[in-house]
Every structure is written in C-alpha cells, then in structure tokens.
Homo-oligomer: A and B are copies of this chain.
Amino acid sequence: MTYCVGLMLDRGLVMMSDTRTNAGLDNISTFRKLHCWQQPGERVLMLMTAGNLATTQAVVSLIEERTKAPEDRTPSIFAAPSMFQVARMVADILRDVISQYANAGQRGDATFNATLILGGQIAGGPMRLFLIYPEGNFIEASADTPWFQVGEMKYGRPILVRAFDPAMSFEAAMKLLLVSFDSTIKANLSVGAPLDVVLYEEGSLRLDPIRRIHARDPYFRTISEGWGDALKQAFDSLPDMALTPPKG
C-alpha cells in the first residue's frame, strides 16, 4: 500500500508521500514515491505514485528518459506548453505501461494498476494539481476540493476534511499532513516512514530538494505523541450523552 496527499494551498502546493512498498506482509521495502523535475524560473513538476511499483518506476523512467534526451524523444514534459498537456502526457505514459503488461505475458496475482498525483506550474500559467487514473484520464483539483489523496486514504481523511484550510501556512499544512500520516501509519502496516515532502511556493518556479522525515524526527514524534493527548482533550471537551431510559 501507499499513502500520498497533495494539497493546493493559496500560497502553494504541498506533496507528501510515505516510502513503504510491500509484496505481501513479509516483503517490505523503502522506495521513493515522490519525484520532482524543474527548470528553475520556467517550470516545476511534482509527481507522486501509488500502485504497482514496476508500473510506477517504469512511468518515472519513461518521463526521465524523455527529459534527458529531448532531441530524441518528443514530446517531453519539459516541452509541453501547459500543465494540462503535461498531465495528458504523463497519463498517456501510465496507460501505455499498464496496457503493455496487462494484455500480454503471465497474469500476476496483483494488478498492474497505479494512480498518480501530479502538481506543478509553468511560467505564465497558474499552479495546478491533478489526479491521474490508471485508465489514463484525470481530474483537477478545484476550490471546492483543493486536495487529493491516493492509496490508503481512509484513516487519514477525517482530519483533512475537518482541519484543511486553503489559507493555512506551510507550517500548519505540514502539521496537518503529519497528523493524517500518523493516523494512517498507526492503522496500516503497509504505510510507513520515512516520509518525503516537498513544498512549492506559488510563482517561485523553483523547488527546494525533497525533505525526508524519519520516524525518529523530533517534530514528527511531538505530533505523533501530542495528537493522542490533544484528541483525548477534544473528546473530553464535548458533553457526555445524558442517558435516560429509552421509550418503547
């Protein structure tokens, strides 16, 4: 399994993913699921992947081959004129990779499916955030739903629904995501630290390197331990039910 969240804030994009992959419960590994590309001042692209690792690695390799040898391989995500075109290109690659394995050769126990979150900005256009399906189509985040989750999304969703605010700071967004990831990690063995995160400030057209947050990270531990107490206090602050004998 996997857990990735992409948030579109007023001030920019935040992308966070876990790094655990598993083939069964007894075969777990750590792989990067957050990938970034940039031409500083011109475009930044961030991609998070959930699903079959062979599929998602092939997608990333195909994207990177294209960026590395643009004279041989067009269209490239660095040449696409808009984020919509980038999304279509990545979606086409995803669909092609899946169909290559799905329709030929031995059948695997697992499917070859994968789902992607793509965010970024190209000079002259707004920042955009897409959710790309294995079928090769995609949807875009909007003011009504300015965030996407992929993978094991249910445990960590209620806090996002309740506490997300597009006006929040990067610092608060990091806290929100760490709470959401902590709840998920506590509930599903196939989601695990370290976590990768990248913050993109709208209009900057420049990305810092990916930050990696380990399980032993002091701030992550503060959040993980503090959230249990804070939640307990929140729970205690609500009135108990006055139980009267039921009618009937």
Q: A187-B157, A234-B234 are in contact. Are A174 and B208 (CB under 8 A)?
A: no
Tell me the dominant secondary structure on chain A's binding face: helix
Q: Is A161 in the interface zone, CB < 8 Å from B? A: yes
Q: Are B242 and A171 in contact (CB under 8 A)?
A: yes
Q: Are B209 and A248 in contact (CB under 8 A)?
A: yes
Q: Are A175 and B241 in contact (CB under 8 A)?
A: yes
A106 CA to B191 CA, complexed, in Å: 39
Chain B residues within an 8 Å CB radius of A227: 162, 234, 238
A171 CA to B209 CA, complexed, in Å: 50
How many residues on A have C-beta within 8 angstroms of the other chain's C-beta atoms? 49
Q: Are B222 and A230 in contact (CB under 8 A)?
A: no
Most chain B CB within a 10 A radius of its CB, from A155, A240, A247: A240
Instruction: Tell me the smallest distance from the CB of A210 to a CB of chain B, in Å.
Output: 7
Q: Is A105 in the interface zone, CB < 8 Å from B? A: no
Instruction: Tell me the smallest distance from the CB of A180 to a CB of chain B, in Å.
Output: 10
Q: Are A240 and B159 in contact (CB under 8 A)?
A: no
Instruction: Tell me the smallest distance from the CB of A234 to a CB of chain B, in Å.
Output: 4
Q: Is A228 in the interface zone, CB < 8 Å from B? A: yes
- Which one of B172, B175, B231 contacts A163 once the chains associate, using CB atoms below 8 Å? B231
